[in-house]
A and B are shown apart, each in its own frame.
Chain A
Amino acid sequence: MKRLFLIVALIASVFTAQAWTKIVNGASHLIARKYMTQQAIAEYDRIASLKVEYKWTPIKNDKVALDANLQAVAADEKDIVVRIEKALDVLRNRKNHSELEQYGALVTLQNLVPNFHNVARISIEGIDHSQQDFEFTWTAGKEGSKKYEKRGTLTWSRFWTNNFCFWHQGWDSEYYAYDIDLRFGKQREQMQQGDLRTWAHEMGEMAKPLYEKWQPGCTMNNEHRLIYEDIHLSNVARAGYRLAVLLNDVLK
Chain B
Amino acid sequence: MKKIIVTLLAAVMALCGVNKAMAWGTVGHNVAAYIAEQHLTPEAKEKCRHYLHHTLPYYAMWMDCWRGVKEFEAVNNGHSLKTTEDGRKISWEAIPSSTMGSAISTPPGRAMGHLLNALNELGNGNYKNLPDSLVRQRLINMIHYVADMHCPSHCGFPERIYLPASKYNLKRNGKFANFHSFWDGSIGAWRKGWTLKKYVEKIDNVSPNESKKWQKGLEQKDLQKGIDSWGKGIIARAHRAYAILPEGTDLAKLTKEQKAQVHELADESILIGGYRLAYVLNTIFKE
Contacts and interface: CB of A to CB of B under 8 A. Distances in A.
A147 B49 contact: no
B236 interface: no
Given A175-B196, A179-B54, A182-B49, A167 B8 contact: no
A1 B193 CA distance: 29
A39 interface: no
A223 B5 CA distance: 39
Interface string A161-196: 000001111111001001100110000000000000
Interface size class of B (residues with CB under 8 A): 35 or more
Given A146-B73, A167-B26, A170-B199, A8 B8 contact: yes
Contacts of A11: 8, 11-12
A222 B65 contact: yes
A160 to B, nearest CB: 18
B272 interface: no
Interface residues of A, number: 32
Interface stretch (A53-61, A70-78, A137-145): A137-145
Interface in A1-49: 1, 3-4, 7-8, 10-11, 14, 17-18
A7 B31 contact: no
Nearest to B23: A169
Contacts of B252: none
B8 A223 contact: no
30 contacts: A4-B4, A7-B5, A7-B12, A11-B12, A14-B12, A14-B16, A141-B68, A142-B70, A145-B68, A145-B70, A146-B68, A146-B73, A167-B26, A167-B60, A168-B26, A169-B26, A169-B27, A170-B196, A171-B30, A172-B196, A172-B197, A175-B57, A175-B196, A182-B49, A182-B53, A183-B53, A183-B54, A183-B58, A221-B68, A226-B69
Given A11-B8, A168-B58, A183-B53, 10 more contacts: A4-B1, A7-B8, A7-B9, A141-B68, A166-B26, A167-B65, A168-B26, A170-B26, A170-B194, A183-B58
